[in-house]
Amino acid sequence: MSDGPHRRPTRLRGTISMIAALLTARALRDAFARRRQARVTSRPLRTGEDPSQRDVAANRRAETLVAILLVGAGLFAFAFTIVYAAAGASTQLLAVTLGGALALLAAGAIVAGKALVPQEKSVEQRDVLLKEDELHEVLEIIESGGEGISRRKLLAGAAGLAGAGVLTAAVTPLASLGPDLDAIHQTPWRRGVRLVDDQGRPYTAEEVQIGSFYTALPEHADPGAFGSGLLLVKLPADRIHLPPARRDWAPEGILAYSKICPHAGCAISLYRYPTYQPTSVGPAFTCPCHYSTFSPGEGGRLMFGPAGRALPQLPLMIDAERNVRAAAPFREDIGPSWWSVRRGQS
Amino acid sequence: MAVRRRHRLQRGMRFSEERLGASRAIKWALRYVFPDHWTFLLGEIALYAFIILVASGIFLTLYYVPSDTQVIYRGPYALLRGEQMSEAYRSVLDLSFNVPAGLLVRQIHHWAADVFVAAIVLHLMRIFFTGAYRKPRDLNYFIGLTMLMLAILEGFAGYSLGDDLLSGMGLAIAYSVALAIPFVGAQLGFLIWGGQFPGSADFLPRLEIVHVLLIPLAFAVLITMHLAMIMRQHHTQFPGPGRRERNVVGTPLWPAYALRSIGLLFAVAAVLVLVGGLIQINPVWQWGPYHPYLSENGAQPDWYIGWLIGALRLMPNFEPTIAGHTLIPNPFWGGLAFPLLVFAMMFAWPAIERRVTGDYRRHDLLDRPRDRPVRTAIGAAFLSWVVIIFAVGSTDRIFVRLHVPYEEQIHFWRVGVWLLPIIVFFATRQICRWLQRTGSHPLRDWEGAVIARRRDGGFEVVADSPQDAGAAEPGPPIGTAPGQESEL
Ligand code: FES
């Protein structure tokens, strides 16, 4: 496993860096030793005493240490540029060189701040913030600006009107940001649109199997539109309990629902199909965002979670070529709720 | 040598003095005193993270393309080659794979954002639990809260720009929250997104301007105000020898504090560069491009959005309707009402405390948390309330890892989120009172007795507490100033 010529430089570098680390540690200890002593010998302060103090360091070891750290920082920083310039620079090497330079700079600055420069404790007095006489002067100056004006109310009212008008004018252009709201009810689904997969291949009734779910998109329409995505599943007849008005929405047990969660607009991507019939609950769609859970056999009824509405269902039909098509547009709005959302029945 | 150095310095100072006459201000700044306490560094860390964010952000802006035009990816990342995606997402991939040091800078930026918000939150906790928000610093506390709100928004806007699957899912939820605003939600959502989600071609450029110009500009103004106010009022300080309401004791800016603070700046930068290069964050190429019909299971947002996810998950399916109209769509509760309530309570707190305690005076000395058991307990209870909701954001991960059924966890926490904070309140108040009584420090002091060996080989108790033994450092005077007996 090990081959000598390659290992030697590594060991050599390891030894050098170990020695360097030891030296640094010793210098660091020495640099702080003086301060620790000073702290022990200084008299304890009693309440009410002036805590000001000033120690001049004159610490040659700290000077050496700071110099070493700064030189190290410079070398690491140059190494960064070299690594960058070399082809195939890796993110990790860049980080280690630049981060190392910054870390050494930080160490240098902190050691300098704690052991190199005079250590001072001083006392500053706080200002009184509220000075009554000055406040009065200011008030007088401001009020003197209104001397000789008699119809204050009129002027204030006029200024208020002007202000309100200008403010309204200033925010009016915001209205041009948004187009009109009609589009919010629209989806690409209308009678006859074929259901295709994400490669554009139409789904046939035979492809839709019990126990799986499929993502379907509208043929010849923008797959990126909010209302495009559908969940497509097939259920055995005994698991389908649609409201009477939706009797013919699920030909051959094939059902389609909007893929967009009516809670907060995520795409529903979890499908739970019972594998052990007697005890498990029925099939369910679950949204991965906040786990709203909907029942595909019951017209998208909410079973659990925060969604305020049922999952919108799309009526389906199967054409002569056995392709699955939309039988009608959505009866309700897809996606999250708003003030005038068209809510489903269930 | 020294003479020459002095001469050069003098020449430089003269040059600026003849033009600015700033020597008084400079002198004042050089002698400005910073109290020595580690908790005072939290705000500085936030400030330095912000500097890193601006620096790394400028680099990223030069490469990011805010366009939703669909293109086919042909770059070096094989797993996505041939996929349809927006130009925006492609530009983020190119930045990560093609631009030298691009990935490093992007990850530094992302880590810095997480550290930035975390430092602000910790700083806010220090401010609250020591009573630093009291007059005259209430205004500055409001500025700080505003910056926290902006920081969360800014972070969200930032990771939404990538147009990867994760950012698209986040934006879908944001769109739903906008729509959920009673009466005008749909208009507002259409205004912002330029139409039905996922929005018109105008949306990404708008989001980019908000992220790289408007909010950073607001930050620049607010940070300036924040620091100017601090300098006018000076820092607070903990009570201690020689420390009074009217003075501030500590290290002057020049030279020691300046050096240490610069050291902290470099340390923050070093940590961010190292984690940015060594620990992967938000690997956008793994999420893939966003299309509204796609989503990912087990996706988690950046940590500072977690409390909103938790609130959205915890909320029952309450969506009141009125005459066929939807009065309050469900995402309103968790996505808007909850965070607004949290911030409203924090904004209202200083006024509430003044009213309850009748203490309208100026305060420049900090409280130790234990000396205000009720305030500390209220803060801890409030914090636990938010933290529980935050934790609910990971119930699905707990289900995957520990197999605790998701639905049962939600049912449990719908009750627990109200009960646990009450328990936390009483427990905290009790602990504070006990600490006050014993005078011990939860982290530093110890409990028990000092035992010494006698000459005959037996043992005896020589002191009941470290204070008696003279072993411990004298704690600051336990400070309830006269007329301040209230526990708040
Ligand atoms: S978006 Fe589906 S549960 Fe919230």
Size of interface A-B (CB pairs under 8 A): 294
**Length of chain A counted residue by residue:** 346
Place of tokens 């879908």: B172
Q: Which of A85, A97, A326 is nearest to A227 (CA)?
A: A326
The amino acid present at A60, given as its one-letter code, is R
Give CA–CA dist B377/B424, Å, rounded.
Answer: 7
Question: Which ipTM score applies to this complex?
Answer: 0.88
Q: To which H or E segment does residue A325 belong?
A: strand A324-326
Distance from the Cα of A158 to chain B's closest Cα (Å) equals 31
**Of the candidates A20, A194, A214, A50, the residue with the CA atom closest to the CA atom of residue A122:** A50
Q: For ligand 1, atom 1, which residue shows the shortest CA distance?
A: A264
CATH classification of the domain holding B205: 1.20.810.10
Q: What is the pLDDT of residues B172-228, one digit of tens each?
A: 999 999 999 999 999 999 999 999 999 999 999 999 999 999 999 999 999 999 999
Residue with tokens 């204050």: A152
Which tokens is B126 given? 């220090």
Residue B253 in tokens: 């800016």
Return d(Cα B180, Cα B184) in angstroms, integer: 9
Express each pLDDT in B32-73 by its tens digit.
999 999 999 999 999 999 999 999 999 999 999 999 999 999
β-pairing verdict for A195-196 and A213-218 = antiparallel
Look at residues A113, A185, A257 and name the one whose alpha carbon lies nearest to residue B255: A113
In this structure, are A213 and A283 located in the same domain? yes
Q: Which residues of A touch B247 (CB under 8 A)?
A: 123-126
Residues A153 and A203 reside in one and the same domain: no
Residues A129 and A254 in one domain: no
Residues 84 to 103 of A: which have CB under 8 A from any B CB?
84, 89, 91-92, 94-96, 98-100, 102-103
Structure letter (DSSP) for residue A114: I
User: Are both A192 and A321 inside the same structural domain?
Assistant: yes
**How many Å lie between the centroid of ligand 1 and the Cα of residue A163?**
44
Determine which residue's CA is closest to atom 3 belonging to ligand 1: A290
Please indicate, yes or no, whether residues B74 and B194 belong to a single structural domain of this protein.
yes
Task: Tell if the CB–CB gap between A265 and B406 is shorter than 8 Å.
Answer: no
Q: What is the pTM of this model?
A: 0.89
Determine the longest span between alpha carbons in chain A, in angstroms.
Answer: 101
For B306-343, write each residue's pLDDT tens digit: 999 999 999 999 999 998 899 999 999 999 999 999 99
Q: What residues make up the domain containing B212?
A: 38-347
> Which is the closest atom of ligand 1 to the Cα of A287?
2
B358 is a domain residue: no
Range of the domain at A101: 52-175
Residues A197, A117 within the same domain = no
Shared-domain flag, residues B291 and B221? yes
Q: Is residue B396 located within the same domain as residue B325?
A: no
* Judgement on whether residues A190 and A212 belong to the same structural domain of the protein: yes
Together in a domain, B339 and B400 = no
CA distance A175 to chain B (A): 7
A58: in domain: yes
Q: Are residues B2 and B123 in the same domain?
A: no
Ligand 1 centroid to Cα of residue A261, in Å, is 5
pLDDT tier at A174 (50, 70, 90 boundaries)?
Answer: confident
B-contacting residues in A 145-204 (Cβ below 8 Å) = 174-175, 177-179, 181, 183-184, 186
pLDDT bracket for residue B480 (50, 70, 90)? very low
Name the H helices within B325-478.
Answer: 331-332, 338-357, 373-392, 395-402, 406-438, 466-469
Angle at the Cα of A22 (from A18 to A28), degrees rounded to 5?
Answer: 140
Q: Is the same domain home to A240 and A261?
A: yes
**Domain limit, last residue, from B289, B313, B347:** B347
Q: State how far residue B352 is from chain A, nearest Cα, in angstroms.
A: 23
Q: A241 and A277 share a domain?
A: yes
Shared domain for A276 and A302, answered yes or no, is yes
Indicate which atom in ligand 1 lies nearest the CA of residue A305: 3
- If one counts the domains in chain B, the total is 3
* Closest residue in A to B473 (Cα–Cα): A44
B95-130 b/e with 16+ CB inside 10 Å = b?
bbeebebbbbbbbbbbbbbbbbbbbbbbbbebbbbb
Q: Is the pLDDT of residue A46 over 70?
A: no
Tell me how close the Cα of B59 comes to any Cα of chain A, in angstroms: 16
Q: What residues flank ligand 1, with Cβ below 6 Å? A: A 261, 263-266, 287, 289-292, 305-307
Instruction: Report d(CA B41, CA B53) in Å as an integer.
Output: 18
In-domain check, residue B188: yes
DSSP string, B264-305: HHHHHHHHHHHHHHHS----HHHH-B--TT---TT----GGG
The residues pairing with B38 across neighbouring beta strands, listed in sequence order, are: none
